[in-house]
Each structure stands twice: as structure tokens, then as C-alpha cells.
Chain A
Amino acid sequence: MSEPVARVSPFAIAALLAGLLALLTLPLFLGKYHLHIVSSAMIFSIAAVALQLLLGFTGLLSLGQAAFLGVGAYTSGLLATGLKLPFELTIVAAGLLSGLSSLILVPILRLKGTYLGVATLGFTIIVHLVILNEEWLTHGSLGLMGIPRPSIGPWLLRSPAAAYYLYLSILGAACFVAYRLVIGRFGRALSAIMLNEDAAQASGINVTLYKAQAFVVSAVITGIAGALYAHHTQYLNPNDFSLWRSIEILLMVSVGGIGSIGGAVIGAFVVMLLPEALRFAAEYRMLIFALLLIVLMGLGQNGIAGLCVSAARAVSRRASFDPGRLERRELAE
């Protein structure tokens, strides 16, 4: 008998393979502009997966993700423009520094629910103001210009397609790390903390330690996403990392489906690409976007992932599968 979480339904496998194939071949079909925004969506998918690890698998509401994104982006951007360090180094430094900055926040992890959300929101505001005001370091409100495109070793990733594949592989790695962390003993401890902290403690789980580990890992991944963002847009502005960005990442995770890694990726794509797709509606586009969001939430499912699971369940029921089994295979909510 195997761990229930480790088993994946044939639908999920099929969807995963189809999605992967689509992602792998996408640069063949897309123009520069579309590749640019899909690449952005990919980078934000990484950030969304990092938040999912906290929100969906540890039960920690963080509105501090924009801050980690900012720390990562500025670390990488400054090292690349100021010290001319190579991309491989700046991206590692971005992850490390973001992870280190998250250590400051470990004491507040004992706050619950919305209280944690507000405290981390405070962190986002603080980091935003530091980026804005410490001009000697960050160039302040003028922003940081001239960040080189990503490059690895002697091979410059000159073409947008090459960069796209780089982002894709880092997204893949982030998903893999997140997946490994949510199954097995570590992930079980995280879910236990999310579902009932008292019972988790009584089972001998060091709640503070596990929360801190999840938080730091999430910050490291978000920092790396920030570094990619810096090299992708090549220009950083403090307002890229304001409070609204944190809310946006939260939207991605909830639109995709809380508690699903794939959902976080889908959510990021929807939140990033839908307003683009709605450009034809001009000044009505955000209005339509908001309406669609309400409709999606009104469907009552756990985001798009939840919608897919219900749909798959309906199909499998028709194909006379045992519905209970599918239910059990779902990742813990």
C-alpha cells in the first residue's frame, strides 16, 4: 500500500502531460510579446507555488510575498548591475538573502490567521519603503535600470525562447521541491499544523520549527522568482513590490485552488494573462476581470483546481469509477 498522496489519478497524469507538452512547445507558436507575458506568468507561477506552500499546506496566510520578491529582485538586480556578477551567482544570492530576511519574521509566525496576514502585510510595506527611500542602495524611486538578460555560463540566453525554457525549468524545480515537501513526514507535519496546531504539538511536532522551515523555503523560492523577474523585465521600480503585489499573489493561489501546486501555477497564469486577454475591452477590462473572478468564486469550488477535480470526478463517475477513491487521492485541503 502506498502513501495516498503519492498516487495520482490518470486524469491528473493526462492533464499534467498535456500541460507540460503545451508549455514545452509554446515558444514555437508565440510571438515575442506573447512569449514575454507568458514568461512573466511563469515567473509569478514560481512565486505562487511558494505562497501555496505556506497557505495551502501549512495554513500560514502571508501577505509578505511581495517583500521577498522585492528583496530577491533588488539583490539580483544590484549585484548584476553594480558588481557585474554573473546571473548564476545573483540568482543564488537573491534566494539566500530573501531567505535570510524571512528569518527576521520567524517570531511573528506564532500569530494566527488574519493577524499573521496583517503582520506580514506590515513587512511588505516596510520593505517597500526601504526600497523607495534608501537611494544610495536601490536608486529609490528612479528605479534600477539596465539589468542584463539572464545568461548561463558562456551561453547567453539571448533569445526570449531560451529564457523561457530557463524559467520553465526553474518553475519545474520549484514545483518538484514543493511536491517533495508536502508529501512524506515533513509534509505530514505541515498539514497537521495547518489542520490542528494543538493536536500537532501533542504529537510531538515542533510547530515553530516546522513553520519557520516552510516560511524560509517559501521566501527562498520567492526570492529566486524575484531575481528572474529582475532579469526578465530588466528594470525594477519600488512600486513593483507594493502591497498590491502581495494581494495579487494571494489572488493567484486562491483562483488556482488553495492546497494544489498545479492550481497555483494555473492561478498565476489566469491572473497574469486574463487581463491581457481582456485588453480588447479597454477600460472595462478590470471590470470584466473582477466579474469573472466573482463568478469563479461563486461556483463554490476550491478555485480552478477544485473545478477540475469536480469535473474529473463527474466524468469518472459516469465511467463507473469509485468516486470515493478519487476523493481520497486529492491532496489535503
Chain B
Amino acid sequence: MKLRNLAIALGLSAAFAVTPASAQIKLGVFGPFTGDAAAYGQSQKEGVEIAVKEVNAAGGVLGKKFEIVYADDAGKPEQAAAVALRLANQDEVTVLLGSISSGASLAASQIAAQTETPQIVITSTAQRITTQGNPWVFRSTIPDTAFAESLAAFVAKKYPNKKKYAFIYVNDDFGKGGFEKFNAKAKTLGMTLVADEKYARGDLDFTGQLTRIRSSGAEVLIEWSRYAEQALISKQKKQMGLNIPLLAGDGTPKYLELAGDAAEGVVYPTDFAIPTAKTAIGMALVKSVKDNYNRLADYTHAQAYDAVKLAAAAITKAGSTDKAKVRDALKTVEINGARGVFKFDAKGDPTHSAAMIVVKGGKEADANE
């Protein structure tokens, strides 16, 4: 019975997982298509699809079409490692694209190194992903360092007299990264941290933290969360009558929707947003997302889109699907992406910087205008 179950299980997965060898170039796209972070996974899928369609419509790469192999990691590191292994080994993809959360991306990066497959991380901002000394890993998003430094610089410029800041962040790699990087930069700008509060993912009630922040005498509140929690923090802050400026580490159109008028005036850095998408490619992507999926484009769309374009450019440059050659090509390739001219630095991070968004009249606007 045990044997039979196993045979059925394996048989099934083999039947559906192994695709016949084809004249196509495979991209392994993995991310949280189910589970808590599935909203990001959805954007990732859409961004990839738009880019692949464009590449294939333009005749493909090296005369071959791109084929996407999706794999769901549910946002879990352990599953990300497993699916990365499957994509690299079983499906023999040329490039791995994923994942969303830093834990998943990190776990998968071990597999990327083991199987010697180039990996382009989509939205994971943890600095460590590119500083682990893993030559196979590249990243489409700018790292938390860049976001945090941009935001700190913005605060210093906008509120030169408000030196006391409080920080609230989600207690995971994302929030932690933002917290540390921001502090490092803020220190050099002469700002002092008067309260730091963290919370666990999935928390809904932040009044405890906000109460402590209120009594700390902070003049500015910096917040580093995903958009859902960010919306709640914005709302609860307003409810409590805590009227200090709020600057956040993340933001999407969805944030505005959830926070309603509590989002008014909030500033956040972004890798890509509609009002700051000033390149032709960026504007075209916004339109494609709207036309195809009836949604507002967010940074995950852009990061996934650019990642596909980078892979295409690198394979073209390498002239083959040899994974080592593709990796070497990725190091030097330069494209015009949704976020402008895109190339990797020595670590494998993008070289462009973050844009700043302010919420004005219930809409995203360029904060530097």
C-alpha cells in the first residue's frame, strides 16, 4: 500500500512535471502563488507573462521562444528550495526567476549555487541575498539599503528640524533590514531614534506599539511593513490622534485603497510606481497591466517584467543557453527596462535608485515634484 501510494504520487508528479524536450528556452518562475503573500505572486506572474509575450512576439531569443514553468513556493523557504531544485534539475530551466519573500529567495539561492543556475530575485530586498558570496544570484529590486538611504535622506531634507524619530517595523527579514539600514543612514544625518517597536507578521492591532511611540516624544514616525499592515498602522495612528508625519518603507496602490484617507500625506520610496514611471517602457507596462488584467501596476510587475527582459538580453548576449555563460552575460548586460536603464553592480544589485511617492488627494504622486 505504501509502495502504491508512493508510486501513484511520484507517477502523477512525473507525468505532469516532465515536459518533453523542446526547442524552447525555459524560464523557471517561482513565487507565492498560494498562501499569505499570494497577492505578490499574482503580480509577479502578470509581469512575467507580459514580458514573455513581448519577447516571443518579437521573435524570441536565439530563434527560440520563451516557455514559462511556474512553481508555487507558498512563500515558504523550504518549499522554495524544493521547487528551485525541481525547476533546475527536472525542468532544466535556463534561468530561475523568484522569489518574493527574502527567506524563500535565500533558500532557493542555495539551490541556484548547487545546481549552477542563474537566479534573478524579484522583490526580496534583504541585503544578504547578494552579499552572501553567491555568484549565481542577481536581483531585480533595489535592496533595502537603497530604499532606507533614500528615505532617510528625504526625511532629513523635508523635515530638517525634526531630529527625533520612532521606527515601527514588521519582525522579519524585510522589516529588520529596513530598520537597520535606515538607522545607519539616519545616524550620519544627525537624527536620533527615540522608540523602536516591532510586531509579528499577521498582527492586526498596533495600538500598543503606537501608544509607546506616542509617549516617546518622536517627531517623525518611520514604518517598515507590507502594505496591508502599513494601512492598519496608518489608520490606527490616525484614530489615536498621533499627528506626526508618517514615512513608510513600502507602498502600492493597494495600500491607498486599504488605508483610505489615513494614507493622506504618507511618503514612501518605491522601485516603481505609476506617477514616477516616466520611461516609455514603464508607461507601456502600466497600460499592459491595465489592459490585460484590469489592475493598477505595482513594483512587482515592473521587477518581474525587467527580470524576464534581463534574462532575454543575457541569453542573447551569451549566444547560448549554457548557464555559466548566461550568468557571465548577466553581469555585464544592460537593458532599457520599465524602471529605465538597468544593469547590475558587482554584487548583482540594480544600479538605479528609488523614487519617492507621496499620497496626495488619495492618489500617488511624485514626492520630489
Contacts and interface: CB of A to CB of B under 8 A. Distances in A.
Contact of A140 (B3, B78, B176): B176
A279 B33 CA distance: 11
Interface in A4-63: 15, 18-19, 22, 30-34, 36-37, 40
A270 B6 CA distance: 8
A292 to B, nearest CB: 11
Interface size class of B (residues with CB under 8 A): 35 or more
A143 interface: yes
A277 B78 contact: no
- Interface residue tally on A, bucketed by range: 35 or more
A90 to B, nearest CB: 18
A132 interface: yes
A36 B10 CA distance: 12
A311 B1 CA distance: 10
Contact of A36 (B71, B85, B126, B132): B85
A239 B9 contact: no
A269 B90 CA distance: 20
Contacts of B81: 233-235
Given A33-B86, A277-B12, A235 B5 contact: no
B5 A269 contact: yes
Contact of A15 (B1, B8, B173): B1
B2 A273 contact: no
- Counting chain B CB atoms within 10 Å of each CB, the highest count among A140, A237, A274, A283 belongs to A237
B193 interface: no
Contacts of B128: 142, 145
B82 A33 contact: yes
B2 A279 contact: no
4 smallest A-B Cβ distances: which pairs?
A: A280-B16, A141-B172, A33-B86, A277-B9
Given A34-B90, A283-B33, 5 more contacts: A34-B13, A141-B103, A233-B81, A279-B72, A307-B1
Interface of A: 15, 18-19, 22, 30-34, 36-37, 40, 129, 132-133, 135, 140-143, 145-146, 233-235, 237, 239-240, 262, 265-266, 269-270, 273-274, 276-280, 282-283, 285-286, 304, 307-308, 311
Interface of B: 1-3, 5-6, 8-10, 12-17, 33-34, 70-72, 76-78, 81-82, 85-86, 89-90, 102-103, 106-107, 110, 126, 128, 132, 171-173, 175-176, 200
